Chains A and B, each alone.
Chain A
């Protein structure tokens, strides 16, 4: 069967079912069919002992009836079973409608007919698994060679995959996409005396296995080795409140955790965001502009359209510190009487779309890193982002850096390891007093929310915050 015929065949299976939903008088219904395949390689201690391949296919039927959502999903795409899903979804929505006190609605939108492929330079199958494996083994070898005999464990993992998605709805959308994503990571553990430390470096993009061919070891495996050796000599940070400089790998985390999750319109609608009621208000330093953009070519969080079939676009969430735009799904856009900006994303066909970020970043400013450092008598330079989380309702967030450095009297000082900083969001955003002129977005990852994970990226320039609480030890 040709590829175009296959694509049409799936539409031919799901279109009659969404037509049936319309005949049943539902407020809205959509059907998502998905098909995916991917392979991965795990190299540990100079052996690629495990090689994986997975494939999946399935369908989800979503129905809005009486202000309630009914949702049924299944593995496979047998037409009779999909029809049963429609029956189940309608019954679920009807059954729960009387319990709904905050009725769901969907915003109006123009239906689209789209067929989009975002596959990068190479198809996953264009490089044989054995070659991918050899590249991973080479990267691991380079890490070990750079580790001065102190590396006790090394892991390089690689995975790539293709995902096809078909979306139809009762408004008339027929959207198809085929997207590839690839990720490669290196984690090394080193020991010296009683001290044991590890460092992780990850790369990822929307695209194929060319990511392996384009690796610069100095920015990947060799970097992990050099950094872990540095960590062995590092101290834990001092405890207390300090001025803090964020490197781009962790300023992206700040954009994502501190601002991005609070700008998700479902959190605002339900009263669980500190940005509720602040549209058009100054909520951050005028130096701060934060954008979420799903259209950036090749970036890990990019999508041509969201899981509701709405084309994505650039969203300027904060403009010079003023809350400018929220992130919307069809439902939140309906409730806020606006249009969806394509942020309704689902992890897979078994999950309902939620309001989600894509690639979130601070826009560059005008300051230099040197200028930021010079202005600090005693502070912390967070050099490498690791992870973070936020309590949106309380406006409190945490960012964790695996590597940092003391700043003493305007100069960089001792190296530090494993530093977390915590802040109150609005206070922290107001306390940003310098925004760098540089820019990097190299933090591909999976953002978790409501039990679902979706691919995201984040970045920005260097930033300086005049004071933050640092989770450290001693003076």
Chain B
């Protein structure tokens, strides 16, 4: 029923390498000073859950091509899905034409040269290709049943998806890469009603390998938390301590990593633009970007441009010490490339590791006489100004060191730089998603608004 060749394209992407090499040579002949090209193939099997029932079983097959061409530093980028080989020359012509239209960029130096990876993290599990929709459906059903065992009237929605993808990259500087990766993602959102009161919560899990994936238990966890979120109460406006649980703290850590984007800093639109080598947080905060962890969710030996990934400490004991670079920003700053580039010109972080503190999360909470525990949803800072003004959507009031009751219709405001200065603890324990340990973080003296007394 399913053509075997589609699987072989994912298992053996090197079969496309001669084609992308040919395209790059063609681009050079047509005037490109630098060029690279990628062919990607992929398959996803997914099941959607709605109203505590299986709703849809899906499969999708993808096959795409893209080329970027540089002339005097100006970039022309062309991409297509569902291509035929005979169309590629026309797309090369278009990329060359676009790069001639683009403004020359005197800061552009070159595309990355071939490099030996510091490490080749394992991110492909061939077993994922053997997972069929029947198995995926069974796992989704199990989570529904487990949620219903907690509360028979729970409303469960969610999805589970298994993806396998592969690609080849060739560049005019001599890079030839083949990559394969797999990924599993599942999440369930549970709603439990009690008269007019509604409690809800979401749980999710991700993995690269089937053996790292626990198919059951998420529905039950989400349902148990949803029960706890019924009957929320309004709180008073004022300044208080906020404890960010792992799912909220990772938002703060990710925001800092995004602000460390070298292009945003070079273009002066990041809140960290003039903060390199300055202390921006207490010495208990250390954040490292590590894309070389085996089975890590965001791991890879090379970035999107084919540059080798490096482990980068972004914040070292409170001091902002390193930006994340792609080839353009590294060349512009005359510093080594950290390998965080994408081919469309962006920069993104990979796995983020936060150094752990000395006390477990439970102890951090128990030390708070009066405060807020934010379990999910972040502070959502503006990455230009650092301004914060957002809602506390899944939060509990802390009274005398204990989670007292869920909070209704409350907001938090301030500035990220102030919030960072006010961090007073990082937990010793953490929630783990492959490659990404997520501790709890406590912040004192944060402004909260609500309509309660």
Contact = CB atoms under 8 A, between A and B. Distances in A.
Instruction: List the 6 closest A-B pairs by CB distance, nearest first.
Output: A76-B82, A471-B411, A75-B82, A102-B53, A92-B57, A239-B449
A420 B390 contact: yes
A422 B81 contact: no
Nearest to B62: A75
A121 B50 CA distance: 42
B226 to A, nearest CB: 9
Interface string A397-429: 010100000000000000001111111100000
Nearest to B345: A50
Nearest to A103: B53
B447 A198 contact: no
B450 to A, nearest CB: 6
Nearest to B45: A92
Interface residues of A, number: 88
Contacts of A152: 267-269
B317 interface: no
Contacts of B267: 44-45, 152-153, 189
A472 B413 contact: yes
Contacts of B52: 101-102
A196 B271 contact: yes
A472 B389 contact: yes
Interface size class of B (residues with CB under 8 A): 35 or more
Contacts of A473: 413-414, 447
Interface in A440-474: 450-451, 467, 469-474
Contacts of B95: 53
Interface stretch (A213-221, A267-275, A283-291, A294-302): A267-275
Contact of B449 (A52, A133, A269, A472): A472
Interface stretch (A7-15, A63-71, A112-120, A358-366): A63-71
Given A270-B157, A271-B51, A57 B81 contact: yes
Interface string A69-92: 111111111000100100110011
Contact of A270 (B50, B408, B412): B50
B134 interface: yes
B450 A68 contact: no
Given A87-B1, A95-B137, A196 B273 contact: yes
A53 B78 contact: yes
Nearest to A424: B409
Contacts of B250: none
Given A153-B267, A422-B411, A100 B59 contact: no
Contact of A198 (B60, B384, B411, B412): B384
B75 A196 contact: no
B385 interface: yes
Contacts of A195: 385
B155 A271 contact: yes
B98 A51 contact: yes
B413 A237 contact: yes
A394 B273 contact: no
A91 B1 contact: yes
B172 interface: no
Interface in B255-290: 267-269, 271, 273
Given A51-B75, A57-B81, A75-B81, A95 B391 contact: no
Contact of A422 (B48, B58, B269, B409): B409
Contact of B389 (A76, A99, A420): A420
Given A71-B56, A237-B389, A470-B411, A49 B2 contact: no
A264 B414 CA distance: 34
A391 B95 CA distance: 43
B306 interface: no
B201 to A, nearest CB: 11
A195 B386 CA distance: 10
A236 B55 contact: no
A310 B157 CA distance: 26
A338 interface: no
A281 interface: no
B391 A189 contact: no
Interface stretch (B29-37, B100-108, B430-438): B100-108
Contacts of B399: none
A95 to B, nearest CB: 5
B54 A236 contact: no
A197 interface: yes
Nearest to A99: B54
A368 to B, nearest CB: 28
Interface string B37-49: 0000000000110
Nearest to A129: B101
Nearest to B451: A241
Nearest to A35: B82
Contact of B391 (A84, A271, A471): A471
A195 B274 CA distance: 12
Given A95-B133, A420-B390, A469 B409 contact: yes
Interface string B352-384: 000000000000000000000000000000101
29 contacts: A47-B105, A49-B74, A50-B344, A51-B77, A52-B77, A53-B76, A53-B78, A58-B81, A71-B56, A72-B58, A76-B63, A81-B61, A100-B55, A152-B267, A196-B268, A196-B386, A239-B413, A241-B450, A270-B50, A271-B51, A271-B193, A352-B48, A396-B409, A418-B385, A418-B387, A467-B451, A471-B390, A471-B449, A474-B447
A303 interface: no
Which residue, of A50, A266, A398, A470, has the highest number of chain B Cβ atoms within 10 A? A50
A35 to B, nearest CB: 9
Contacts of A421: 411
B73 interface: yes
Nearest to B384: A198
A78 B82 CA distance: 9
Contact of A470 (B1, B81, B140, B449): B449
B94 interface: yes
B77 A130 contact: no
A240 B413 CA distance: 11
Given A352-B56, A420-B389, A102 B47 contact: no
B198 interface: yes
B11 to A, nearest CB: 18
B77 A239 contact: no
B90 to A, nearest CB: 10
Nearest to B199: A394
B422 interface: no
B24 interface: no
